[in-house]
């Protein structure tokens, strides 16, 4: 079934055609109908399968058809997300899909000045995308009213609940009408999260799960390689220099590691940027935009910052550090191979991370292809680096020798 065959508004169909949406993905096909009918649902699907459009398309259509002008009659849809970057990304998706529709979308999130966001709200908003912290700030400051909301969307629901946002989600219900529609969207879910989800939605809610035996998107080729912890930087350098035109998203475990890896790459003339919680929001956005545009080819990220982010044409994902939670492996490598694109994911695991790889393989229900590096090749990569370091040291020594010669000549002249 093509989108042109759906009973959507003409303007929305034109936007879908302009954006290259011809046929719905599996998750879109299964969810658009129930959402249009106003049903609650819990939807689970792999990363990169079009979950944002799965809820954005029907919500935009319903709101557009219910309005006679662009004037807002209060917030009708509330979309809650765990991170600022995801809030911005989803807002952009709504605005692209909703071009020329009678629907206005805006986002609010922390880390930036409140005033511009307050002005947006005062002008009128139909769809609000928000992180919990800033939303509650505005509710308590009386800048935000949610009494007209008809649809609540929780995106990256598992991550939100895992980060401890359950109380926030429960509390926001006190500000929302009881007869609202609730939509949960996520890439992964466990029994505990499912229990929380069902406590917040209607008893007759629809559960839709698009999950083949392999939770990893079929467009992604993913492998693991055993590398000593201290040698990882050499192999990352080699991978980057072998693929100079490729966008590469590198995952590390901590904010400090992100900056250390960036410095290590800078020492070998590789320009990389970082995105993590310690950076100012404006700097995080600059880093993301430069990576999206291709001005920066290498972005080093922590899990929290990059979860759910849809960056076009990421050819490589590198797990520089193996994730401590097995499901995060799926989320990380899902940043490549999105839509119809192919992607490659490479994981460097040290001997001390072997148990984490075993947990991931257990979660996946299958072994990950282990690419063996011969002792000769391993040694060549390390020796090549050592040669460069020695060359650099020899240059320094030569400079020192020249300086010493100059000093000796000056002393001789003085004696004469």
* pLDDT per residue as tens digits for the range 193-232: 777 777 777 767 888 888 656 678 788 999 999 999 999 9
Q: What angle do CA 334, 40, 140 make, to 5 degrees?
A: 85
SS3 291: helix
pLDDT in tens, 314-325: 999 999 999 998
Give the span between the Cα atoms of 316 and 356, in whole angstroms: 21
Give the span between the Cα atoms of 214 and 270, in whole angstroms: 35
pLDDT at 120 over 80: yes
Residue 170: the pLDDT is 82
Residue 413: pLDDT band with limits 50, 70, 90: low
pLDDT at 76 over 70: yes
Residue 44: the pLDDT is 85
Q: Where are the domains of the chain?
A: 3-210, 220-373
pLDDT at 306 over 80: no
Residue corresponding to tokens 């949610």: 146
Mind giving me the DSSP string for 101-141? SS--EEEE-SSS-SHHHHHHHHH--SEEEE-HHHHHHHHHT
Helices (H), 130-280: 132-140, 157-162, 166-172, 191-200, 232-242, 255-266
Task: Decide whether 3-210 matches 220-373 in CATH topology.
Answer: yes
pLDDT at 399 over 70: no
Number of neighbours of residue 282 by Cβ within 10 angstroms: 10
SS3 373: coil
Q: Which fold has domain 220-373?
A: Rossmann fold (3.40.50)
In Å, how far are 14, 82, 284, 313 from 252, measured between CA atoms? 41, 19, 16, 20
Residue 404: the pLDDT is 64
Beta bridge partners of 299: 249, 273
Give the span between the Cα atoms of 320 and 347, in whole angstroms: 6
pLDDT in tens, 333-361: 988 988 778 999 999 999 999 999 999 99
At how many degrees (to 10) do helices 115-123 and 132-140 cross?
70
Residue corresponding to tokens 């020492």: 267
Residue 163: pLDDT band with limits 50, 70, 90: low
Q: Are the C-beta atoms of 324 and 253 separated by less than 8 Å? A: yes
At how many degrees (to 10) do helices 51-66 and 84-97 cross?
50
Residue 416: the pLDDT is 53
pLDDT at 390 over 60: no
SS3 225: strand
Task: Give percent above pLDDT 70 in the chain.
Answer: 88
Residue 402: the pLDDT is 58
Residue 162: pLDDT band with limits 50, 70, 90: low
Residue 84: the pLDDT is 87
Residue 96: the pLDDT is 96
Residue 271: the pLDDT is 95
Residue 393: pLDDT band with limits 50, 70, 90: very low
Residue 312: the pLDDT is 82
Q: Which fold has domain 3-210?
A: Rossmann fold (3.40.50)
Task: Break the chain down into helix, strand, coil percent, rounded to 5.
Answer: 50, 15, 35
Task: Give percent above pLDDT 90 in the chain.
Answer: 61
Residue 31: the pLDDT is 96
* 160 burial via Cβ count (<10 Å: 0-12, 13-18, 19+): buried
């Amino acid at each position: 079934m093509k989108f042109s065959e759906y009973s959507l508004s003409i303007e929305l169909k034109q936007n879908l055609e302009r954006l290259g949406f011809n046929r719905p993905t599996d998750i879109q096909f299964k969810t658009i109908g129930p959402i249009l009918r106003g049903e609650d649902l819990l939807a689970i699907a792999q990363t990169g399968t079009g979950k944002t459009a799965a809820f954005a398309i029907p919500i935009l259509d319903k709101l557009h058809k219910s309005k006679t002008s662009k004037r807002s009659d209060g917030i009708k849809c509330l979309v809650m997300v765990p991170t600022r970057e995801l809030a911005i990304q989803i807002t952009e998706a709504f605005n692209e899909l909703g071009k020329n529709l009678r629907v206005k979308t805006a986002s609010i999130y922390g880390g930036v000045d409140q005033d511009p966001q307050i002005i947006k709200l005062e002008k009128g908003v139909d769809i609000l995308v928000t992180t919990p912290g800033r939303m509650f700030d505005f509710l308590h400051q009386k800048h935000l009213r949610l009494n007209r909301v008809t649809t609540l969307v929780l995106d990256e629901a598992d991550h939100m609940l895992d980060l401890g946002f359950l109380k926030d989600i429960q509390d926001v219900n006190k500000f929302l009408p009881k007869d609202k529609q609730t939509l949960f969207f996520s890439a992964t879910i466990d029994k505990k999260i499912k229990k929380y989800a069902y406590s917040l939605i209607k008893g007759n809610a629809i559960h839709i799960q698009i999950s083949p035996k392999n939770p990893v998107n079929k467009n992604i080729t993913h492998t693991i390689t055993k590398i000593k912890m201290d040698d990882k930087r050499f192999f990352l350098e080699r991978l980057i220099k072998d693929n100079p035109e490729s966008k590469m998203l590198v995952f590390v475990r901590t904010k400090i590691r992100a900056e250390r890896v960036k410095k290590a790459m800078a020492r070998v003339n590789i320009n990389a940027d970082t995105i993590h919680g310690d950076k100012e929001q404006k700097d995080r956005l600059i880093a993301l935009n430069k990576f999206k545009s291709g001005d920066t080819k290498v972005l080093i990220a922590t899990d929290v910052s990059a979860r759910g982010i849809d960056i076009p044409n990421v050819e490589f994902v590198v797990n520089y550090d193996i994730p401590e939670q097995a499901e995060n492996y799926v989320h990380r490598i899902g940043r490549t191979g999105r839509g119809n694109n192919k992607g490659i994911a490479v994981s460097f695991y040290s001997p001390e991370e072997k148990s984490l790889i075993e947990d991931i393989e257990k979660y996946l229900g299958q072994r990950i292809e282990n690419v063996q590096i011969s002792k000769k090749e391993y040694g060549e990569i390390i020796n090549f680096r050592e040669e460069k370091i020695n060359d650099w040291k020899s240059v320094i020594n030569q400079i020192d020798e020249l300086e010493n010669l100059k000093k000796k000549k000056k002393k001789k002249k003085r004696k004469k």
